[in-house]
Structure 1
């Protein structure tokens, strides 16, 4: 236990330095980027310079960018001191380590989850039969239609106004992804005055990561796309639970959590917590094992798909919010090992479609 806390404290120091570099003042000058990737929009922040062998750095840059976006403090939020952060870090790490991770202490498993998993694992099951599962619940039906009309999934200008039309437009694989997301979203609802954007950004990231993981698994690692999709959603649940623990402990101690501390805890605990959720919810064993392997940064096809998906989802969100251009996002993703250029381009087009706008109008028109 002491080793975990000591290691976490060391990570906190590094994170403070990294956060300061990423959030450098506008007047400090542009951070260099790889040759040929400079955006035509000079108002956008620039990612750190990368080398050909810096795949791990690229993932870290995108993760830091995601955290900077999700952890923007609320207006008038108080800032914790370094000593307060260290105290909070130890308390939250201890709470997470001591947490009873049995199913009764985790967010309630969606009631329709076992039925959904059985249906999607049936090769003869149609998208219509999967949609009928959601049709059993009016609230889930409404959420399904809302997500089907979101920029992530919407394929035409005309709104999707029925389950049957959602099935027709989105297709079998798309409806599987949407249904899974609908089941998970209620568990991820999180409001924070300290970080008002966190819940929305993490939910959007989970949706994008689930889609990218499924595509990457089918195209690149030749793994189970449905299992990969659930990994993308479950890592979002892990992030939400880590934040919930941080906010609870901060409230008990009367200390405001800092963005740096939150980022450190998310880096250290999101995937371990996600793996425990997967086990408690009795998701396919491959999901649980891949989350554990990804947390250890070791091999495995599903783990590789998850690493790519988390980076790709972060890149897409940073583009959507005008933090980086598409050229910069692709330059970062190209540094990740194991994804051929043609596969990267194909997944990126599906992940970051025409419905997504960036601050660089020229690049949006060329996409």
Structure 2
């Protein structure tokens, strides 16, 4: 799976695609206005790109992490979390069984639809017509909805509505389609009819992952890190925990008594192992897997790879920004930003401009 994604985001210039408009629209082709790139990254090399210690201190990480877990599990500040409930213990046992089995966690993640690689390959083929691409997209209801939505976003406030998939394909263009299809390919299917924890937390976690992935990729371009590796690390970092939510629902059977501090600490480690296992089976680059292994909080004297440092920085700042926006921190204490790499300011601004997480 990684091979064709790597080709998609390779440094070489993509081959042009010649779209053929439908007969009814050839006389008046839609005008496409290029969208300027957002320059959020610092101009020079960033210390986050240099292997070294964690970019945040233990005290910073611990304070934000506690608040983040409290928000996810609706845990009050008075909860001591010194003991786990029997349900929490069963969940951790189940996750340990998955992590130590041949199955790993990849079987619990929806595999990429077969037409996604076909579409991305087509987008790199010279002379591929808009009509043929539209027919392929039309076989996937999720892609149809996303393509129409994105095309209509270009015409907000004009009174014009795009209803034709082929018209939408021509309007969006090659680069827009590449980004949209890749996003859809990686987005987990979240069944809102599933259990309490999936319904409550999965969308929050995936929104967080997407924001981290975008921030990773923007900052990586000026940090000496492969942008696609950074993008993948941001996306897959939360996949293990999203898989764990399904296990929690299966074990809990309607009970909502999970979220103690001890459970959250052990859950984070088990979820990280799941993410690494899934990344290996999906043939992700070694740099991505190493970066995932390096997460879990600052450790005294431990050295982190450049990508590991960037992933920790964006994850920390995304949590900090979300908690501050939700009013769950007692003021944005400057100590939470003290000593961070120069890229932190740009990253925080980028995250602040991203859409808010949807309420559960």
Q: Report TM bin, short chain.
A: 0.5 to 0.7
Say if 2:211 and 2:351, in contact at 8 Å, map to a contact too: yes
Q: In the alignment, which residue of structure 2 is the partner of 1:352? A: 352
Whether 1:328 and 2:329 are equivalent positions in the alignment is no
Greater RCO, CA 8 A, separation 6+: 2
Q: In the alignment, which residue of structure 1 is the partner of 2:196? A: 193
Q: Structure 2: state its 5+ residue gaps.
A: 1-54, 76-80
**Residues of 2 paired with 1:107 and 1:245: CA distance?**
12
Alignment of 1:216-235 (within 5 A): 216-219=219-222, 221-235=223-237
In 2 relative to 1, CA 86–346 (structure 1 residues): closer, same or farther, beyond 3 Å?
closer
User: What's the offset of the Cα at 1:231?
Assistant: 1.3
Q: In the alignment, which residue of structure 1 is the partner of 2:146? A: 144
Q: In the alignment, which residue of structure 2 is the partner of 1:108? A: 110
User: What's the offset of the Cα at 1:142?
Assistant: 4.3
Q: How many residues align?
A: 282
Normalised by the length of structure 1, the TM-score is 0.60
In 2 relative to 1, CA 311–141 (structure 1 residues): closer, same or farther, beyond 3 Å?
same
Alignment of 1:139-288 (within 5 A): 139-142=141-144, 144-145=146-147, 158=157, 163-164=168-169, 167=172, 172=175, 178-189=180-191, 191-193=194-196, 196-219=199-222, 221-251=223-253, 256-260=256-260, 263-288=264-289
Whether 1:308 and 2:327 are equivalent positions in the alignment is no
**Residues of 1 paired with 2:237 and 2:354: CA distance?**
26
Q: Which moved more, 1:309-318 or 1:296-305?
A: 296-305
Say if 2:116 and 2:181, in contact at 8 Å, map to a contact too: no
Alignment of 1:54-133 (within 5 A): 55-72=57-74, 82-84=84-86, 87-88=89-90, 91-101=93-103, 105-111=107-113, 112=115, 114=117
User: What's the offset of the Cα at 1:277?
Assistant: 0.9
**Residues of 1 paired with 2:185 and 2:98: CA distance?**
25
Q: In the alignment, which residue of structure 2 is the partner of 1:317? A: 322
**Residues of 2 paired with 1:200 and 1:243: CA distance?**
11
**Residues of 1 paired with 2:321 and 2:154: CA distance?**
17
Say if 1:275 and 1:292, in contact at 8 Å, map to a contact too: yes
Say if 1:101 and 1:276, in contact at 8 Å, map to a contact too: no
In 2 relative to 1, CA 67–103 (structure 1 residues): closer, same or farther, beyond 3 Å?
closer
User: What's the offset of the Cα at 1:256?
Assistant: 4.6
Q: Which moved more, 1:182-191 or 1:264-273?
A: 182-191
User: What's the offset of the Cα at 1:211?
Assistant: 1.1
In 2 relative to 1, CA 328–249 (structure 1 residues): closer, same or farther, beyond 3 Å?
same
